[in-house]
Amino acid sequence: MINWKKLESASTLDDIIEDSFNAPQVIFKHSTTCPISGMAKRRLEGGWNIDLTPYYLDLLSYRSISSTIEDKLSVRHESPQIILIKDGKAVYNESHLDISASSLQDSLEAHLNG
């Protein structure tokens, strides 16, 4: 089970970006009414063995934060979407059925070791 942190404000997004200079950060953007988003969330939760606590953005309640993510990190909005942030930049993102814990782990390892 993943211990999600809620992303519900632009100031929290600023904190996430700032914290990414100390350790990688992850944001999962989720639409609670979308079956594909639900499937992506279950796949993440089922395969999660990553030493990070991801942030969870409920797109139906906080869609404007997704626009802010797009502006600040230059990542086009998708739903569902997972974004890995390191040193203030989005270094990896996937959407829809390409979202998996293993591909996130691979990208995280590449960015930590590279």
pLDDT tens, N- to C-terminus, the chain (114 residues): 799 999 999 999 999 999 999 999 999 999 999 999 999 999 999 999 999 999 999 999 999 999 999 999 999 999 999 999 999 999 999 999 999 999 999 999 998 886
| CA distance to 2, 59, 84, per residue, from 75 (Å) | 24, 15, 11
pLDDT at 113: 85
pTM attached to this predicted model: 0.95
Long-range contacts of 89-96 (CB under 8 A, 24+ apart): 89/20, 91/24, 96/36, 96/40
pLDDT at 105: 95
The whole-angstrom distance between residue 29's C-alpha and the CA centroid of its chain comes to: 6
* Bridging pattern class, strands 81-86 and 25-30: antiparallel
Structural domains present in the chain: 5-113 (3.40.30.10)
Residue count of the chain = 114
